[in-house]
Amino acid sequence: MNTKSKVAVIGLGNIGTAVATNLAKGNRAVIVADRTIEKASALSQKLGSLARPMEIAAAIKEADIIVFAIWFNAIKELLHQYATELEGKIIVDPSNPIAPDEKGGFKKIIGEKESAGEIISSLLPKKAKFAKAFGTLGVASLANAAFQKPANVLFYATDDSSINADIEQLILNNGFEPVRVGSIDQSIRIEVFGDLHEFGALGKTITKNEVAQLIEPSLV
Ligand SMILES: NC(=O)c1ccc[n+]([C@@H]2O[C@H](COP(=O)([O-])OP(=O)(O)OC[C@H]3O[C@@H](n4cnc5c(N)ncnc54)[C@H](OP(=O)(O)O)[C@@H]3O)[C@@H](O)[C@H]2O)c1
């Protein structure tokens, strides 16, 4: 497992704050960045010496792993804007491609059978490596179900098994048990409405011994 890779969380709303807070609790250093340095500085002061505030461009340049805790369309924009700086980096996408509907709920903003993970993986900068992770739980569970015994599961997907150790260490440092669901073509299962999502058919957090009946072992 690789704890030396430098991690940056870009976007410090619900999910970015929860991920950065968990990392600090898990004793992992984290670079935090948002649209303003003031927002990043305020969070890093709360989290203590393991958190470092930076401008987005500097954070992307410095980090090996970048968690884009921003909305789906904003991730697409930043991938384009920082294409050169992101070359060769590990990009982590927690996004759920949804927007409010007319009935006070949420609807998908991409095709029914499409996933944000597959779309974003088709837009990656050169030699960037990509994982879908941290989007499977709502923010309340991401914050409150971390660091439990036994640990709750966070699913991830990637096409590139060379980054499994990095992603798994990041999930462990967030206080969860990592479980790979397979390649990026499985992303839809761990996005909102998916069968492994807290706001989909699964509907709850689970521990590792409950996973066996949910995932085809050959996919993992
Ligand atoms: N909320 C959940 O329960 C949940 C669960 C799973 C996955 N997700 C996914 O996680 C992602 C973030 O959701 P969230 O609930 O954390 O959203 P959020 O609370 O609205 O936070 C988004 C943050 O990103 C910042 N931001 C927006 N555009 C940016 C840009 N271009 N560059 C840098 N920062 C930018 C926002 O800054 P400003 O305040 O300045 O706009 C805000 O701090 C989304 O893709 C969502 O689908 C959310």
Q: What pLDDT is recorded for position 212?
A: 84
> One-letter amino acid identity for 6?
K
What's the mean per-residue pLDDT of the chain?
96
Q: What pLDDT is recorded for position 25?
A: 98
| pLDDT of 181 over the 80 cut | yes
Q: What pLDDT is recorded for position 47?
A: 98
Q: What pLDDT is recorded for position 116?
A: 98
| pLDDT of 216 over the 90 cut | no
Centre of ligand 1 to C-alpha 216, Å, is 32
| pLDDT of 2 over the 70 cut | no
Sign of CA dihedral 91, 75, 123, 100: positive
| pLDDT of 90 over the 60 cut | yes
Nearest CA to ligand 1 atom 42: 13
**167-178: average pLDDT:** 98
Task: Please state, for a pLDDT cut of 90, what percent of the chain lies above it.
Answer: 94
C-beta 70 within 6 A of ligand 1: yes
Confidence of residue 219 (pLDDT cuts 50, 70, 90): low
The distance in angstroms from the start CA to the end CA of the chain is: 18
Residues listed for the chain: 220
Q: What pLDDT is recorded for position 72?
A: 97
C-beta 35 within 6 A of ligand 1: yes
Centre of ligand 1 to C-alpha 13, Å, is 5
| pLDDT of 103 over the 90 cut | yes
C-beta 10 within 6 A of ligand 1: yes
Confidence of residue 220 (pLDDT cuts 50, 70, 90): low
Q: What pLDDT is recorded for position 94?
A: 98
Reported as a single tens digit per residue, the pLDDT across 132-158 is 999 999 999 999 999 999 999 999 999
**39-55: average pLDDT:** 98
C-beta 178 within 6 A of ligand 1: no
216 forms beta bridges with none
